[in-house]
A and B are shown apart, each in its own frame.
Chain A
Amino acid sequence: MSYEPPVTDYDYIVENCTCAFCGCNCDDLDFLVKDNHVVAVRHACRLGASKVMEDLDQRLMVPMVRNEEGVLTETDWDTALDTAAEYIANSIRPVFYGWSETSTECMKEGLELGEYIGAVLDNQATICHGPSLQAMQNAGYPIQTLGEVKNRADVVVYSGSNAMNSHPRHLARWAVYPRGYFRQRGRFDRTVVTMDPKFSDTAKCSDMWIGFEQNGDYGFYNAIRAVIKGKKLQSESVSGIPAEDIYELVDVMKNAEFGVLFFGLGLTHTLGKQRNIDIAIKMVQDLNAMSKWGLTPMRGHFNVNGFNIFMAFETGWAFGVDFCRGWGRYMLGETNTIDLLVRKEPDCFMVVAADPGAHFPNGANQHLADIPVIQVDIHWGPSTELADVVLPGSFISVECAGTSYRMDGVPIYMKKAIDKPETCRDDEWIIRELKERVMKLREETNVAEKYVPNPIMDLKRLEKEE
């Protein structure tokens, strides 16, 4: 990395902007603006800074509709919105997917449309931390805010997460380096452990690296739990880790004043999937009998947690909520995007601020190629190639304000710093327009004549005597 001189040529600075990249939602950025363009970003890591500054790279600027020859052609907003609205209105099994890189304000519009038309609403959790959500529904969820980690934590464990690369400032702002109220010497007051088969960059700045075997997560955590409970290990090594190392590790964990486990997709997506998280949660619960421990999933996108929170308070469930019958249904493996696509159920797909084309398994994408796909996004991506209508949105936290939820659930209001390109529209506006247009095209589906309370509630109604 060569030396770059500081940027001095700018018109003004906007302070306390939020980074719309990873789940750290750093809200301490300064944008240096010149000619309505962010020319430099202070405080952000390279990931965040480059996303903000290279906002025009492969930027979708104009609405597009795929013509009869199968070529995406530029068009005006009215035509594009009408085409998209027609696709939605004519569908019987629409799926609205994504949402993790837009605001809760935009989600609100999307949910209203989804409930009206009977769609499935789902987000990236279905392919990332879904197993974590599933596990917390099995086992519980002891978490804490990141400031709590900064102020108290003396033992920090990263498991299946290479935060140095994926959430670069996580270590610097909260978990490892900063001076906290009870950790005045910062890094020196903390023991950092990385559990990862790979000797990752995070492992390099840790005090202990536990490089257990690939897919050895469950067995390894199981061994830790056994030792925590005072059992002796029967074999000399578990998942490739010598028993002595496990005893040593458990010693560190038990003697923590405040320990935190951060886990990433390296734990959620190896062999045991949600069972890995189950047992990690149980381990943390065990540790609380003798110490104080919490955990936090390292959520990837800046608002992937926000969608789960938003859906939970609006509908009762976090993701994969199916409204096709006029009430919410949530059943993992049944109402989630990949399962639906692989079963070839959906006949219309709207993707908002996400890139299934790049991330979905082949079978799922094959079905996407067969049905109308509407893309609302700011950048070109493989999904654009699948899309039949492209609606260019605006960049939340830079060109447009909105609310997001950090990985620990702290809400952040991301303000606007510059104007969006003239030809683009805010995500919230786009989805509202679609909603209104669909409502004109089609009656609401699956509306009950009369409210019938769920019998399980035993809310006996007043029966009028004749």
Chain B
Amino acid sequence: MEYILKNGIVYDPQNEINGETMDIFIKDDQIAESVSDDAKVIDVSNKIVMPAGVDVHAHVAGPKLVLGRLYRPEDSRMGVSQKTKIERAEAGFSIPCCPTTGYRYSRMGYGTVCEAAMPPLEAKHTHEEIATIPNIDINPVTLFGNNWFCMEYAREGRIEEMAAYIAAMLRVSKGYGVKIVNPCGSEAWGWGQNVHGYDDKAPYFDVTSRQLVVALAKANEMLGLPHSIHIHPNDLGHPGNYPTTVETLKSIKEIKKSTKKAAKIRDQTVHNTHLQFHAYDGTSWKDASSGADKVADFINHNDYVTGDVGQVTFDETTTMTADAPMEYDLFQISGLKWANKDIECETAAGIIPCIYSPKTPVGTLQWAIGLELFLLVDNPWQICMSTDHPNAGPFIRYPRIISWLMSAPRRMEMIENGEVHKWSHKRTGLAGLDREYDFYEIATITRAAPAKIHGFPDRGALTPGYKADIAVYDVNPNDFDPSRNPEMVERIFTSAAYTIKDGQILVKDGDLVATKPSHVIWTDVKGWEREEAQVLNEMMPFFTQYYSVKWENYQVHDHFLSNPIKVEVPAK
């Protein structure tokens, strides 16, 4: 099938196209230089055309999610809607069921989402869910930050073995990259403890968080993976945690980025997720204040770092993270129902419902810090849109966040009319920031930068040869002032005029017109076969003794993969 998207106003930051009126050509599932005369013309004049959205970090599939759905039927009820000829019935608000997740991303013009935490032991489960989510491609990143083998390798400084192990495990779990959550802390949670700061040790393993993270970053670059390490540092959510964050990022500074082809696309050697939760000053919630300026300042001076925000959206949501001790802390504060899941030799996870209210000091402080980070990091290629869905809010709120970023008056209105608690300006510098994002910058933080950070060679831009993943939004930026129309901005980005995925029109005028199965994207490292065999051989007695499944059953067989896209990382 061929299409011409005619006369759109194009924002394509990877190709430095900033609001030019031009045509985009689609041939089958790709963007093309040109098309034949048979191409169907879609008139998009006076409308915005962007690459389809790429979510840099969200939790959409896997055991944590299902635990949330199992124990929060009230959340599922919140989002029900009746089935149509095209789509199945929807359910869920903060943790929608799988089909609903795909539909809602599609309506917003998204095409790709990174599932940000996959435990290898339950990777099959994550993949079963991915296969159930329609319309969006998903690259799950595998959890390594509390993995027993990795902790051993790090302590002994065996980086090559660690690299070989990672290569093997990406194949075993069909994962895309290296995710680290509260390094050493979730292992400490195995004993009901946590680590404090970057130089604390996991009990019994005699290895610090710093040693582990640095080793994983080195191994990541040794392999030349498309994505850098993707880290959620220690001390999440604790007042006074910004030094831990800065220390963590600093420790990666000397590590050279791989020169291999797959690693070429990205600039960073570390991606720090949901920075908002890691940018607090003060010593307790009594005197807590924003540390966003310090974190942003560090990022502004260090281009090897990227991050996403984890913006609080003022909703009732469900927090879920592999930072399990933090979730128990939350339970002791809120007393809401607490769920937890520890996974042998690998990780842990905690879950608790959370209501972020604009009337409360803490929720408002977090909201303001998130916005500060967006506004204080100068280079939009270094900061991405996220709510750490569902942790700080559901992904369906991205359009609202965009409206806040594009409108300083709207932010000031919220502060001045008391819509939000006074900590928003008493404890942060938000009120003094009048920067406003333009459409080009919005396109950067919601599609171009996330795609680059993940090292995708086929999406996030409208380059011929790339996937025809395109979003069209019904607004003419030349006679529309987003600063004065925040509500309109939210509406525009909530329902795309068109969402095109792999050259297929899925959404028209905000309504789904078709659904399609998703692809799962994983990384296949080549050239390490001998080393991989060696480490696997070495670990097998341990595995047999201390895991609860057989090795044969540990691996994710092709049976579980939904239309896999295998990213090959060539030999050393």
Residues of chain A having any CB pair with chain B under 8 Å? 15-16, 18, 27-28, 104, 115, 133, 136-148, 150-152, 173-174, 179-182, 257-258, 285, 288-289, 291-292, 294, 308-310, 312-318, 323, 325-328, 330, 401, 403, 405, 409-413, 444, 446-454, 456-457, 459-463
A256 to chain B, nearest CB (A): 10
For A456, the closest partner residue in chain B by CB is B78
Which chain A positions have C-beta within 8 A of B396? Answer: 457, 459
For A137, the closest partner residue in chain B by CB is B71
B341 near A313 with CB under 8 A, answer: no
Which chain A positions have C-beta within 8 A of B132? Answer: 313-314
B491 near A312 with CB under 8 A, answer: no
With A152-B190, A312-B97, A457-B93 known as contacts, the answer to whether A410 contacts B548 (CB < 8 A) is yes
Which chain A positions have C-beta within 8 A of B359? Answer: none
**Cα-based distance from A341 to B293 in the complex (angstroms):** 63
A73 to chain B, nearest CB (A): 38
B337 to chain A, nearest CB (A): 4
Which chain A positions have C-beta within 8 A of B15? Answer: none
For B342, the closest partner residue in chain A by CB is A144
Which chain A positions have C-beta within 8 A of B549? Answer: 27, 147, 410, 412
A314 near B191 with CB under 8 A, answer: no
Which chain B positions have C-beta within 8 A of A410? Answer: 121-122, 548-549
Instruction: Please tell me which one of the listed residues A409, A413, A448, A456 contacts residue B553 in the complex, with CB atoms under 8 A apart.
Output: A413
Q: Tell me if B69 is interfacial: C-beta within 8 Å of chain A.
A: yes
B83 to chain A, nearest CB (A): 5
A115 near B88 with CB under 8 A, answer: yes
Which chain A positions have C-beta within 8 A of B545? Answer: 179, 181
B71 near A136 with CB under 8 A, answer: yes
Instruction: Give 5 pairs: A residue, B residue, CB < 8 Å, sorted on A.
Output: A27-B552, A144-B343, A328-B76, A410-B122, A461-B491
For B99, the closest partner residue in chain A by CB is A314
Instruction: Please tell me which one of the listed residues A309, A312, A401, A449 contacts residue B84 in the complex, with CB atoms under 8 A apart.
Output: A449
A313 near B510 with CB under 8 A, answer: no
Q: Tell me if B472 is interfacial: C-beta within 8 Å of chain A.
A: no
Instruction: Please tell me which one of the listed residues B63, B97, B510, B557 contacts residue A316 in the complex, with CB atoms under 8 A apart.
Output: B97
Instruction: Please tell me which one of the listed residues A27, A28, A182, A456 contacts residue B93 in the complex, with CB atoms under 8 A apart.
Output: A456
B192 near A309 with CB under 8 A, answer: no
**Cα-based distance from A330 to B492 in the complex (angstroms):** 34
Q: Tell me if B539 is interfacial: C-beta within 8 Å of chain A.
A: no
B433 to chain A, nearest CB (A): 26
Instruction: Please tell me which one of the listed residues A27, A179, A257, A457 contacts residue B550 in the complex, with CB atoms under 8 A apart.
Output: A27
With A16-B553, A448-B83, A457-B79 known as contacts, the answer to whether A316 contacts B96 (CB < 8 A) is yes
Instruction: Please tell me which one of the listed residues A312, A411, A453 contacts residue B122 in the complex, with CB atoms under 8 A apart.
Output: A411
B48 to chain A, nearest CB (A): 13
With A148-B190, A315-B91 known as contacts, the answer to whether A309 contacts B73 (CB < 8 A) is no
Which chain B positions have C-beta within 8 A of A174? Answer: 548
A237 to chain B, nearest CB (A): 31
**Cα-based distance from A400 to B76 in the complex (angstroms):** 33
For B76, the closest partner residue in chain A by CB is A316
**Cα-based distance from A20 to B388 in the complex (angstroms):** 38
B89 near A317 with CB under 8 A, answer: no
B71 near A140 with CB under 8 A, answer: yes
Instruction: Please tell me which one of the listed residues A142, A409, A446, A450 contacts residue B63 in the complex, with CB atoms under 8 A apart.
Output: A409
Query: For residues 550 through 571 of chain B, which have their beta carbon under 8 Å from a beta carbon of chain A?
Result: 550, 552-553, 557, 559-560
Residues of chain B having any CB pair with chain A under 8 Å? 61, 63, 65-67, 69-73, 75-93, 96-100, 121-122, 124-125, 128-129, 132, 148, 189-192, 204, 328, 331-332, 337-345, 352, 396, 474, 487, 490-492, 494-495, 509-512, 545-550, 552-553, 557, 559-560
A460 near B190 with CB under 8 A, answer: no
Instruction: Please tell me which one of the listed residues B91, B125, B332, B337 contacts residue A309 in the complex, with CB atoms under 8 A apart.
Output: B125
Instruction: Please tell me which one of the listed residues A104, A145, A460 contacts residue B128 in the complex, with CB atoms under 8 A apart.
Output: A104
A451 near B125 with CB under 8 A, answer: no
Which chain A positions have C-beta within 8 A of B122? Answer: 409-411
A411 near B93 with CB under 8 A, answer: no
A-B pairs, 7 with minimum CB distance = A147-B344, A316-B76, A316-B91, A147-B548, A292-B192, A140-B337, A144-B342
Which chain A positions have C-beta within 8 A of B100? Answer: 316
Which chain A positions have C-beta within 8 A of B332? Answer: 289
Which chain B positions have C-beta within 8 A of A133? Answer: 70
Residue of A152, A401, A448, A459 contacting most chain B CB atoms (<10 Å): A459
**Cα-based distance from A15 to B544 in the complex (angstroms):** 14
B19 to chain A, nearest CB (A): 21
Which chain B positions have C-beta within 8 A of A326? Answer: 82-83, 89
With A179-B545, A312-B97, A313-B129 known as contacts, the answer to whether A327 contacts B83 (CB < 8 A) is yes
Which chain A positions have C-beta within 8 A of B340? Answer: 141-144, 294
A327 near B494 with CB under 8 A, answer: no
Which chain B positions have C-beta within 8 A of A409? Answer: 63, 66-67, 122, 125, 341
With A141-B67, A142-B338, A409-B63 known as contacts, the answer to whether A313 contacts B82 (CB < 8 A) is no
Instruction: Please tell me which one of the listed residues B128, B191, B491, B495 contacts residue A258 in the complex, with CB atoms under 8 A apart.
Output: B191
Instruction: Please tell me which one of the listed residues B81, B97, B341, B352 contacts residue A452 in the complex, with CB atoms under 8 A apart.
Output: B81
B550 near A145 with CB under 8 A, answer: no
A451 near B66 with CB under 8 A, answer: no
**Cα-based distance from A259 to B341 in the complex (angstroms):** 14
Which chain A positions have C-beta within 8 A of B98? Answer: 313-314
B287 to chain A, nearest CB (A): 25
With A142-B338, A315-B97, A454-B79 known as contacts, the answer to whether A448 contacts B72 (CB < 8 A) is no
With A147-B548, A409-B341 known as contacts, the answer to whether A327 contacts B89 (CB < 8 A) is yes
B491 near A460 with CB under 8 A, answer: yes
B124 near A148 with CB under 8 A, answer: no
With A292-B192, A449-B84, A462-B492 known as contacts, the answer to whether A456 contacts B79 (CB < 8 A) is yes
A442 to chain B, nearest CB (A): 15
With A147-B344, A413-B124 known as contacts, the answer to whether A317 contacts B85 (CB < 8 A) is no
For A323, the closest partner residue in chain B by CB is B89
For A318, the closest partner residue in chain B by CB is B70
**Cα-based distance from A147 to B190 in the complex (angstroms):** 12
For B546, the closest partner residue in chain A by CB is A181
**Cα-based distance from A187 to B2 in the complex (angstroms):** 68
B548 near A137 with CB under 8 A, answer: no
